[in-house]
Amino acid sequence: MQTVNIHAAKTHLSRLVDAAAAGEEILIARAGRPVARLVPLEEAPARPRRRLGRLAGQLSIPADFDAPLPEEVLSGFEAG
């Protein structure tokens, strides 16, 4: 593991990022004291592709879906 002071890290950031991407860990120190670690990014596992319409025909929306709510339900929201 390579240790670099913060001033050198600012100067050579691009090179350090390339080294980290290649698998190296870089420790960044301030006044000789470690404060951060630059590590390679782990690849996220591939997510399966979502299929549109997968639930087609399995769900139904009632005809009164967007009808006004009953007064007793509305009063529960407005209480306070």
Q: If pLDDT is split at 50, 70 and 90, which confidence band does 75 have?
A: confident
Tens digit of pLDDT for each residue in 31-69?
A: 999 999 999 988 878 888 888 998 899 999 999 999 999
For β-strands 33-38 and 2-5, DSSP reports them as: unpaired
**Quick count: other Cβ atoms within 10 Å of Cβ 16?**
19
Residue 26 in contact with residue 33, Cβ under 8 Å? Answer: no
Phi, psi for residue 14 in degrees, rounded to 5: -60, -45
* pTM above threshold 0.75: no
How many whole angstroms separate alpha carbon 24 and alpha carbon 44? Answer: 19
* Structural class in CATH, domain 2-38: alpha beta
